[in-house]
Structure formats: structure tokens, C-alpha cells
A and B are shown apart, each in its own frame.
Chain A
Amino acid sequence: MEFKNLKLSKKTTFIIWVGIIAFVIAAPTILPVFRLNLLGRYLSLAIVALGVDLIWGFTGLLSLGQGIFFALGGYCAAMYLQITSSSEFPNNIPEFFGLYGVDNLPFFWEPFRSPIFTLFAIWVIPALVAGMLGFLVFRNRIKGVYFSILTQAALLVFFNFFNGQQKLINGTNGLKTDVTELFGQMVGSEQMQRMFFWTTAVLVIAAWFFSKWLVKGRFGNILIGIRDDEPRVRFTGYNPVLFKTIIFSIAGALAGISGALYTVQSGIVSPQFMTVPFSIEMVIWVAVGGRGTLLGAILGAVFINYAKSLVSEALPASWMFIQGGLFILVVTALPEGVLGWIQGEGPRNLLQRFGLKRKIETYPSLEINNEAEDLKK
């Protein structure tokens, strides 16, 4: 579960980082526009996966409703873009309002005229919603599978609500962003997409360091304590409700940022972000990458999604089977996920099985005793 067995020397770490930075800078020139856009989208999904890892991998809260916070972030970003690009439309409000006979911007969208407000709203609003939802649930000591079901139910509530609100958020059609303008350029344009790719890459790294910092010290240890034995944490004088609420809000904030970045790179936000399978997929990325490893969440999100697009191009409709198989494989064979397996005893066990590495003798004395027992007979 930790980085204990994967100690890299300073030099290797440095070279890896130089490699990552060089790739991020060069990616727009190496990769075709289409691939770059996909990579940017998948990198933004890595941020929501980091949040899932924090609440599930470290704190043991299996949320199946992260799509709520992801979509909220996306809607905040998309609405800002629509509002600022609506000067040619009637009443200077986004075009879709006209279709439903709305003449004035709904009051709660007013603050979204401000870019600074929007930049905060993208992560603060999901964090607040997550915090409120979390506090109520955690205070009533709802845990385990009940928590998962509750988050999924909340997801469905949000999904249905957003689907039905044509006059407020264009309902099931969602909000398009690719034909809006930011800094005088089309959001869907190649230059803007390149900027979004770089922003995403930087934010993934920032979110990773932030998460690492968060779980490194005593705070992270309490989270692990809550995951493994919550009553014990309570009897030691800590209030698990606070810790869980905080980490759930943080995961919500990360989901919001992730959703906003995903929206501007995919060109649309819609209630489809709040479907049940999508939120479950987020959990699968983390399970496959490695629960409680953080890096595993990032790699899981990027590689599974990349695999998904490659497989879907080659063999349409077969992805669901592969994804299901992958999940079953991880649950049965690699409960710690791929990264957890690599960092743990996995590779050693595999080499042993093929006779390439000697077994560690744990109790040599036991064997001697066995012989003694045999002699007695």
C-alpha cells in the first residue's frame, strides 16, 4: 500500500521528471491533434481519480457518486464560457435560453459573468456540496455498502434533476463549449486545446503533489486508521466525522476541477457526466491502478481510457467486456491493483513461480523440527 518497496535513487527520479516534463512540452508537436485532445481529456480524468483514491484507497469510503461533483465543475466552466460568448444572442444571454422563452439570466448564474468567481466556483461549489452531503451521511454513521448506495442514489437524483431543467441549464442537451470564446479565441481551436492540455498536465501534477502531501503525515495516518478501524480512532479522541467530511470535500473539489478541464476539452457538459456507469468507471480506474497509491490512480485513469479509445476504434462494442474482465481480474488476482502489486511482493512471487528467484526461508527451524518429528516415528 505504500512506496516502501519502490525506492528510486535521486538521479532516476530526476531523469523521470525530466522525461515527463519534456513529454508534456513536446506532446502537442509529436501527437496528432486528435490524440493530444484525448490525452488531455484522460489526464483531466486522472484528477477525479486522485480524489477517489483519497476517499476510497485511504479512507475506505467507496463513493459511487463522484460524477455529481465532476459535472458541477463542468457546468460552472461551461456556463461561464457560454455567458461571456453570448453577445450576439438575444438579450445577451446564451442562445438556448431563447429556445425556452427565458429572457433574463437566472439569478444564480449572474456571478458566473466573473472569471475570478468562476475559477473559484469550479472547485468550491463541488467541495461545498460534497461537504454538506458527506457531513449528514457521516454524522449518522452511515458506512460501507450503505454509503456507496446512498452516493449512487444521490447521483441519480442529480442526474434526473439536471436532465429536466431545460430553462436553467439546457437540460438533457447540456452546454456546449467548443464554439464559445475565451481570450478572444475559439475554445475548440487548436491553440486553445494545446493550452488546455498543458494546464491539465500541470494541474494533474499539482493535484498529485497535493494529495501526497495530504496523506504523508499524521492526517493521512488518521485516514488510514478510519479505513481500518474507525471505532478505535474515535476512542483515541479523534472525531472521524470531521476527517471524513474534509477528505470527501477535497475529493469533491478535485472532481470539480477535473470536470471543468474535461468539459473544455471534450466540448460539452451534459447530464451524461452523471450517469451511473461513469462514476463506477472512476472507481475501476483506481482499483486497477492501485488503491492507496495515488500514482496508481493517475496511471489507471489515463491508461484504461486510452485503452478504451484504442479498443473501441479497432473492435467496436467489445470494450465493456474487456473492462469487466479487467475489473474481475483485478479483484481476484491483484486486489492491490497493478501498482500495488508491483510495489508489493508481486514481482518476486511471479519470479519464484518460474524458478527465477529463490524463496525466502521464513522459518528454517520449522523444517528441522519436522525432520525430528519424522525420526521419532
Chain B
Amino acid sequence: MKKKSKSLLSLENITVSFEGFLALNDLNLSLKKGELRAVIGPNGAGKTTFLDVITGKVKPNKGNVFFKGKSLIGRKEHKIARLGVGRKFQSPRVFENLTVKENLEISVSSPKSPLNLINKNIKTEQIEEIDHLMKIVNLSNKKNAKAGSLSHGQKQWLEIAMLVGQKPDLMLVDEPVAGLTDEETDLTADLLKSLSGDNTVVVIDHDMEFIRRLDSNVSVLNQGTVLCEGTMDTIQNDKKVIDVYLGRPEE
């Protein structure tokens, strides 16, 4: 396979079938370096499966994923993560029995080999990085608190900080504002916007106000394929999108 120029990530004809149910159906999508992209779609449209394919959790039945010109198919999850793909999960998944600081240490540490972790102490610049991250997400005063004792919003932010600390080239962010207050949502949107440029960010969410605030290109997924792509205004006036998604009051 030839490497794709310019695009950091490209998914080509991805099909994923779970016992006959097509979670993703011939999906094509590509991202430029430094882009911020929002992905929306009704429940069951394949948004999370889309992330699972990129991060190696799910192997597609057909198609290929290229990241920095390398195919990701068949690579183990931790190898893909080391290549520079970071992921934040739908519900915050932080290590609840570890402190905020320890959680961030896990994400910042590099190299991630057992011997390095046993033999060496964490580097000074990594400690500074951790302090910096805690400041950004307002958790400096919770440094030694167990992550399990944090509020839902704080866990979301801790996980975003962990994602940033991993220094990925591509950040996949799954519903970062679920369960956050309006104020926190705005702050999160600003944070993600400030991250794009240096990083390529994919945000999946349901919250339309939040997506609008991101001010980015939007891809609409439906039944496992990309229905429509464009700015928020284009999307909102697209008839197909209104039919399957925006027009439905229950969403």
C-alpha cells in the first residue's frame, strides 16, 4: 500500500461487522495534521466502533487505517498508542485507586518499559509536565487525592490531562463533556481548541452547543458510514442530516 500524503490519519473502506450487524459500513475518512474534527451521529451510528478500529481494539473485516503513512491494522493496542494515538474514553476511565499525580505519572512516563519504571526515577521535566497539566485542569490542590474520590467532572478533566500528557499526535476524545456543567463544558471546548494546531484532535459528542463552540469541521456518521462532512452551518442545513439526526427530538 502506498502512503497517503498530507493526511495524518486516513480510514479507507472500513467495514466492521459484529455477527452480521454492520457497525461500520465502507467508512472513509481522513484527517489533516493539526485539524480539529468533530464526529456526531445518532446512537448506534458507529462512533465508538470508529475509535475502536483506530486504536486497535476492534479489527475491521475490510479496509485499512493509515496513520503517519503506516497501516495500523494488526498492530497491538499499546504499539498504536506508542505510535502517537491517544484516546479518552466515553465514561471517564482513570485509575481510581491511584492518586491524581500517579495517574498523570503513568501517562507522562516514557519509555514505557517495565525496566525503566523499576530502575529509574521519574525525570524532572516529567514532574514539571505533571504540575503543568494539573494546573491546566485545575487539579493542583487534588494532587495526592485518590482519583476515585474526584467528582465526575474532575475525572473527565483528569483523563483529558492524561491524554495530553501522553503527547499523542492524534487525540481521540469520546464524549468529553458528558455530565459536565455548562461552565466546565465551555472550558473543555476551549481546552480542546487550544490543543488543535499542534495536535490533531477528533472529538465525538452529542452536545450540539459544545460542537458549535469547537468551531471545527464536522463529520456526521449514520449507520456506519459518513453521511455528510462540512462546517456546522453546512451540516445543520443538510437535508439528509436533518432527517436522520437533527430533526429527531429524542436525540
Residues of A within 8 A of B (CB): 1, 214, 217-219, 221-222, 224-225, 228-229, 231-240, 242-243, 246
Q: Across the two chains, which residue of chain A brings its CB closest to B102?
A: A221
Query: For the complex, is B25 an interface residue (Cβ under 8 Å from A)?
Result: no
Taking the closest CB of chain A, its distance from the CB of B74, in whole angstroms, is 15
Establish whether residues B166 and A225, one from each chain, have CB atoms under 8 Å apart when the complex forms.
no
Query: For the complex, is B155 an interface residue (Cβ under 8 Å from A)?
Result: no
DSSP majority for the A interface? helix
Query: For the complex, is B78 an interface residue (Cβ under 8 Å from A)?
Result: yes
Query: For the complex, is B198 an interface residue (Cβ under 8 Å from A)?
Result: no
Establish whether residues B77 and A234, one from each chain, have CB atoms under 8 Å apart when the complex forms.
yes
| 16 new A-B contacts at CB < 8 Å, known A217-B118, A237-B78 | A217-B117, A218-B105, A218-B109, A219-B118, A221-B98, A221-B105, A225-B106, A228-B97, A232-B93, A233-B106, A234-B78, A235-B57, A236-B106, A236-B162, A238-B112, A239-B76
Q: Report Cα–Cα, A243/B77, bound state, in Å.
A: 15
Interface residue ranges of B29-83 to A (CB < 8 Å): 55, 57, 76-78, 81-82
Q: Across the two chains, which residue of chain A brings its CB closest to B107?
A: A236
Specify which chain B residues have a CB less than 8 angstroms from the CB of A219 in the assembled complex.
114, 117-118
Taking the closest CB of chain A, its distance from the CB of B57, in whole angstroms, is 7
Specify which chain B residues have a CB less than 8 angstroms from the CB of A240 in the assembled complex.
78
Q: Report Cα–Cα, A299/B191, bound state, in Å.
A: 50
Establish whether residues B122 and A218, one from each chain, have CB atoms under 8 Å apart when the complex forms.
yes
Establish whether residues A224 and B98, one from each chain, have CB atoms under 8 Å apart when the complex forms.
yes
Establish whether residues A234 and B81, one from each chain, have CB atoms under 8 Å apart when the complex forms.
yes
From A219, A222, A233, A236, name the one whose CB has the most chain B CB atoms within 10 angstroms. Answer: A236
Specify which chain B residues have a CB less than 8 angstroms from the CB of A231 in the assembled complex.
57, 77
Q: Report Cα–Cα, A224/B121, bound state, in Å.
A: 18
Specify which chain A residues have a CB less than 8 angstroms from the CB of B77 in the assembled complex.
231, 234-235
The 6 nearest A-B residue pairs measured at CB: A237-B81, A234-B77, A219-B117, A218-B117, A237-B82, A239-B78
Specify which chain B residues have a CB less than 8 angstroms from the CB of A239 in the assembled complex.
76, 78, 112
Query: For the complex, is B151 an interface residue (Cβ under 8 Å from A)?
Result: no
Query: For the complex, is B5 an interface residue (Cβ under 8 Å from A)?
Result: no
Q: Across the two chains, which residue of chain B brings its CB closest to A234?
A: B77
Query: For the complex, is B124 an interface residue (Cβ under 8 Å from A)?
Result: no
Taking the closest CB of chain A, its distance from the CB of B122, in whole angstroms, is 7
